[in-house]
Structure 1
Amino acid sequence: MTTHVVALDVGGTSMKGGLVTAGGDILLTDRRPTPRTEGPGKVIATIREFIADLAGAGETPPTAVGVVVPGPVSDNTAVYSSNIGWRDVPASDFNPLDVPIRLGHDVRSAGLAESVLGAARHQQDFLFLSIGTGIAGAMILNNTPYPGATGWSGEIGHIPVFPTGEQCACGQTGCLETYASAASIARRYTESLTRASSITPTPAPATPPTAEDVITRAERGDPQATEVWNEALEALTLALATYTLLLDPTSIVLGGGLSQAGPTLSTPVAERLQRKLTWRTAPQIHHTLLGTNAGMLGAALLAWKSTQPPTPPLDVPTHPPVP
Structure 2
Amino acid sequence: MTTTPAVLAIDVGGTSMKGAVVTRDGRPVVVERWPTDPATDTVAAIAGHLRSLAAAARDQHLDVVGAGVVTPGMLDEASGTVVYASNLDWRDVPLRALLAEATGLPVVTGHDVRTAGLAEQLLGAARGVEDFVLVTIGTGVAAALVTDGRPVTGDGGAAGELGHIPMVPGGEACTCGQSGCLEVYASGAGLARRYAALSGVSLPAEDVVARLGRDADADRVWAEAMQVLAQGLVTATLLLDPTTIVLGGGFTAAGDALLEPVRAGLAAGLAWRSAPPVRVAELGSEAGWIGAAALAFRSAGHADALGTWTPHALLGAPIP
State TM-score, norm by structure 1. 0.91
Question: Which SS does the other structure have where 1:104 is aligned?
Answer: strand
Q: Tell me, yes or no, if the aligned pair for 1:179 and 1:232 is still in contact at 8 Å.
A: yes
CA distance in 1, matches of 2:64, 2:149: 27
The one-letter code matched in structure 1 to 2:272 is W
CA distance in 2, matches of 1:27, 1:305: 19
Task: After superposition, give the CA deviation of every residue in 1:238-292 in whole Å (9 maximum; x if it has no partner).
Answer: 1100111111100111111112222221122111111111321101111111110
In structure 2, the gaps of 5 or more residues are none
Of the three residues 78, 83, 100, the one matched with 1:79 is: 83
**2:49 maps to which residue?**
50
**1:214 maps to which residue?**
208
CA distance in 2, matches of 1:168, 1:266: 25
Of the three residues 208, 221, 224, the one matched with 2:217 is: 224
Indicate the larger mover: 224-233 or 265-274. 265-274
Of the three residues 70, 73, 76, the one matched with 1:68 is: 70
Q: Tell me, yes or no, if the aligned pair for 2:184 and 2:190 is still in contact at 8 Å.
A: yes
CA distance in 2, matches of 1:94, 1:234: 42
Q: By how many angstroms is 1:322 displaced?
A: 4.4
Do residues 157 (structure 1) and 163 (structure 2) align?
yes
Q: By how many angstroms is 1:86 displaced?
A: 1.8
In structure 1, the gaps of 5 or more residues are 195-203
CA distance in 2, matches of 1:142, 1:37: 40
Matched residues, percent identical?
46
Q: By how many angstroms is 1:129 displaced?
A: 0.4
Q: By how many angstroms is 1:8 displaced?
A: 0.4
The one-letter code matched in structure 1 to 2:108 is R
Question: Which SS does the other structure have where 1:185 is aligned?
Answer: helix
The one-letter code matched in structure 1 to 2:114 is R
Of the three residues 184, 187, 197, the one matched with 2:190 is: 184
**1:253 maps to which residue?**
246
Q: By how many angstroms is 1:167 displaced?
A: 0.7
Do residues 268 (structure 1) and 261 (structure 2) align?
yes
Do residues 88 (structure 1) and 92 (structure 2) align?
yes
Q: By how many angstroms is 1:183 displaced?
A: 1.2
Task: Output the aligned Cα RMSD.
Answer: 1.6
Q: Tell me, yes or no, if the aligned pair for 1:16 and 1:322 is still in contact at 8 Å.
A: no
CA distance in 2, matches of 1:50, 1:309: 23
How many residues get paired? 307
Q: By how many angstroms is 1:88 displaced?
A: 2.4
Q: By how many angstroms is 1:22 displaced?
A: 2.2
CA distance in 2, matches of 1:283, 1:322: 33
Of the three residues 293, 300, 316, the one matched with 2:310 is: 316
CA distance in 1, matches of 2:145, 2:32: 28
